[in-house]
Amino acid sequence: MTIRILLADDQALLRETFRMLIDATPDMEVVAEAADGDEAITLARAHHPTVVLMDIRMPHTNGLAATSTICADPTLTTTRVLILTTFETDEYVAQALRAGATGFLGKDVTATALLDAIRTVAAGDALLSPTATQALIARYLATAEEPDVPTPALKQLATLTAREREVMILAAQGRSNSEIAHQLTLSPLTIRTHVQRAMTKLNARDRTQLIVIAYQTGVVRPRPHAPG
């Protein structure tokens, strides 16, 4: 199945570069381009892309606000947002995840890594750059003021099986499906099934939101952050 991509970046040259790269890849195609957040929202609703490749700093409505609107739209539940930006700060990463983004990468990423990231996000798996680590998510979300913990998630935690809870915890610690499978002596497919079931029970849009819920509800506690 072809991965349909919406490019959202205010720099035309970058959009053209990404389009050339993506359109030259057999399993991907660019369906639309947006120069600002408002246009990204409109085009997402018109084209229902698999993935929106979203810049943060754009005129009018920025990428974070556009991400929030797209991810909250009930007609776009199958659309994933991959943030691609030069600003990999704690605050931006946390805001992007809260907005519903599935992935976060720096613009210095290689072409191969970008294409792999698009495939990962299209599959519904969380993707963070080395800079935007799970430890960063844990540290920021745990200390953010008035975290917005979804009430259904709190109520549904009790419905998780012991294995689903265990897999959720390991995923929230930054482990991939393959790493979790190796640790628990299970197949990656079995781990993916447990992740999907946990997501369904907690009404999590994707793996990233599942991870956020794990920290917000206290299922996983952040490790103390070393000074400096």
Q: Where are the domains of the chain?
A: 3-132, 149-216
Please tell me the predicted confidence (pLDDT) of residue 43: 97
Q: Which CATH architecture has domain 3-132?
A: 3-Layer(aba) Sandwich (3.40)
CB 31 within 8 A of CB 47: yes
Q: Which CATH architecture has domain 149-216?
A: Orthogonal Bundle (1.10)
10: closest CA among 70, 85, 91, 82? 85
**Its pTM surpasses 0.85:** no
- Encode pLDDT of 127-158 as tens digits: 665 445 454 555 555 555 444 555 556 678 88
In Å, how far from its chain's centre is CA 145?
A: 22
CB 3 within 8 A of CB 28: yes
Residue 41 has pLDDT above 60, yes or no: yes
47: closest CA among 9, 75, 11? 75
Arithmetic mean of pLDDT, 197-204: 89
- Encode pLDDT of 171-189 as tens digits: 887 777 888 889 999 998 8
Two structure tokens written together for 185: 């002596």
* Residue the block writes with tokens 């057999």: 26
